[in-house]
Structure 1
């Protein structure tokens, strides 16, 4: 009865408000209760409803009043057109992989793992401890906390060849996420009007970072074993490029994992041309049937610039990454990073270090491997059943994604729209190509939410594809 009485009071007061003027005082709670034969709690509930609807406002100790209607006008920002002048280059598009969606859709587009795949208990405890420590009120060193730099160096050194001088903390810079690191590395090695070689397809964020820096990209075809070695050697000779950007371990989007022999062959070509290999080890913690062995572990001549992020494997809220480099390049990178971000939050660094040095971190990674495998196989089965036209030519040994090729002539924008109307969000593959796409592709994330819905998502996707004839 209280809910019905409250709704009745709201209706009557709304009618009264419509016929009065802004600023008019409403009867007191006691008066309203007596007039409607209701209790004070019911009247207060009705008043809270009117406040939430923006019709009245309460003034403690004074009363409740009809809210004044503020005049609304359209802001004029036309002056900015002249002030900004000509646009400086094309506006970078928003990646479909970063799109935020509601929880009532089936999401296969994201580049991040689902929350249930993260070490939530470790992260919460680490942030609580960091908040109680002195780093909460201190400026972190511009190169990063020494303990965290040592951890990154030791992790890489543990995989280094016996004949290779292992990296040390002095070779490590801490970054606020790897994206800013990509821009800094590209600018330091090639700079505006410079040339870099890059795998094709490859991570869309690297393509965007190069565009923002003004560096030209020359695509190198990559296959199931890695980049075409002959094409790589020829491109270095023909372009004079200063570096080659690649993801040797569980590449995004293809899932390609270089063998040790292929990695050594690439490194030999890079050395022969006096260039750099920019190794983006984004999926280091996401092995399924293989382990990450960085190419940087085989290099002590400063040819490999190694990027390693904890953002995806620890928490999207902890944007902490590192770059490992040697020689004069390291000094140039330090100046670049310092100019852009000054330093990385000490709280985030301390929390990240806390998580990865807990014994439970290794246990978490072992369990993660099993979960990723189950999810990968579940999505593979769903695609084979419901979207047989989608060819997955490589079952990834790690990472978060499947790279599926669709029939030539598939209208990808239409497919994305039709799939969304059926409640499924996908990432079309064109943005992973630094030049013209070589086919119609989808990148499908098997680490996203609700794997039990993979079959339903694949069925909807299959229907959307079939609708194209």
Structure 2
């Protein structure tokens, strides 16, 4: 975990407050700490994590955070020397002068736990009420009983699971075109490290998912943002960017893009493919929302890799978004020599994905109820989207949603001119609602007048509706 000096400051202030409290005493709520210290929710979460690591507090889901039994606190050593050591190593092994970095505040914010008294409109994983928990439990039990469940799996993944991914992605892919990996974020990091060298340019959407930005930083790549329109990544700007920078990697989210919700049309997909092929560039296709289409969605274009005989596309598919954040299983698919490079990167990164986890995933997706579960989820997502859309329109005005996606799990809300996304997010959290400022989705400093609202992490559609409408006084106050 990366901890800022402010999180350490908050932690030390809290130590002084709670040191003498009796065991079992409830400490101040997450929301109140954000208000009192005037820091972000992520900073407070990091401070509480420090106290948890020291054994001073413990969280009880749904109840709050409490003082634990007192125990001796080890004497803290002087670790200040690490600051200089870490700074010096940033540039080692980077002949181009572009340092690798681990800049994850925006990505970490997507993983922060909302306090019991906060409605989560920030998180990107299904609330347990939406997860197929019975199917997951049954699959885990069946996987554990499989012969060889604890044997070492092949590096590329369990063959039957690779077969399933190949068929699910389509385009005539076979088992040997697929590698099983640890879900979407791992696949992104592996692909960018495998395809680029430190200092290389990489074209990304702007705005885009913070995990793409974090993975590019960690690989030492130089990001080249290209804007979107309602049909996805602008092909004309992509051509200009590849000509100007010589980039050999482009990252796109083809369906229900995070955060805008835009989807590439079949025509735009072909334009991007043609431009990338002309420049000898790979297209990394992060198809994270393929199974999150809503019940009222019309036909969606097939993935770009489905019509890619020359191996331009490296495809990413994950099961995590539609099952559980703990089923961290996904796939990388590609044609040609690039697959050997990707396989080597997988080995360096994780050796292989644990067989019991792969077999659990295989049991889930081959169970008779798998397609029925996706249909049920699609209906639930549509219902929540409709509720959220109506609440956003009532709260932010009729022009707040220029794009209303028929898939995915979030809305990209355009704010009135008088509102700042980051300030609104801070005020919302102080009022019991966690939302995501638009700035989190840009690779550089931005004053983007947006917030992203997720409608899948809250317990119910009613909670989503209530939380969005609770923002109305904050919108009015800023006018």
What is the TM-score of this pair, normalised by structure 1? 0.80
Q: Distance in 1 between matches of 2:167 and 2:70?
A: 64
1:273 corresponds to 2:282: no
The counterpart of 2:466, out of the listed 449, 456, 460, is 456
Decide which moves more: 199-208 or 126-135: 126-135
Structure 1 residue aligned with 2:236: 230
Q: Distance in 2 between matches of 1:196 and 1:91?
A: 17
- 1:131 Cα deviation after fit: 1.4
Count of residues paired in the alignment: 395
Decide which moves more: 129-138 or 306-315: 129-138
- 1:460 Cα deviation after fit: 2.0
Contact between 2:202 and 2:248, CA under 8 Å: does it hold in 1? yes
What is the TM-score of this pair, normalised by structure 2? 0.79
Q: Map 1:395-434 onto structure 2 (within 5 A).
A: 395-434=404-443
Distance 1:80 1:298, change over 3 A: same
Structure 2 residue aligned with 1:206: 212
The counterpart of 1:117, out of the listed 127, 130, 134, is 130
- 1:259 Cα deviation after fit: 1.4
Decide which moves more: 440-449 or 395-404: 440-449
- 1:434 Cα deviation after fit: 2.2
Structure 1 residue aligned with 2:62: none
Structure 2 residue aligned with 1:53: none
Q: Give 3-state SS (helix, strand or coil) of 1:415's partner.
A: helix
Distance 1:270 1:145, change over 3 A: same
- 1:230 Cα deviation after fit: 1.1
Contact between 1:188 and 1:333, CA under 8 Å: does it hold in 2? yes
For residues 269-307 of structure 1, give each alpha carbon's deviation from its aligned partner in whole angstroms, at most 9, with x where no partner exists.
Answer: 111112111100000110111454211111111000000
Structure 1 residue aligned with 2:94: none
Q: Distance in 2 between matches of 1:70 and 1:177?
A: 39
Distance 1:143 1:285, change over 3 A: same
For residues 139-197 of structure 1, give each alpha carbon's deviation from its aligned partner in whole angstroms, at most 9, with x where no partner exists.
Answer: 1111100111111111122xx3xxxxx11100101101221211111122122111111
The counterpart of 2:160, out of the listed 135, 147, 159, is 147
The counterpart of 2:263, out of the listed 246, 257, 282, is 257
Across the aligned residues of Structure 1 and Structure 2, the Cα RMSD in angstroms comes to 2.0
Q: Map 1:17-56 onto structure 2 (within 5 A).
A: none
Q: Map 1:132-211 onto structure 2 (within 5 A).
A: 132-157=145-170, 160=171, 166-211=172-217
Q: Distance in 1 between matches of 2:380 and 2:86?
A: 51
Distance 1:136 1:84, change over 3 A: farther
Q: Map 1:194-343 onto structure 2 (within 5 A).
A: 194-288=200-294, 289-292=297-300, 293-343=302-352
- 1:116 Cα deviation after fit: 1.9
Q: Give 3-state SS (helix, strand or coil) of 2:407's partner.
A: coil
Q: Distance in 2 between matches of 1:172 and 1:197?
A: 24
Structure 2 residue aligned with 1:16: none
Distance 1:172 1:85, change over 3 A: closer
- 1:133 Cα deviation after fit: 2.1
Structure 1 residue aligned with 2:117: 104
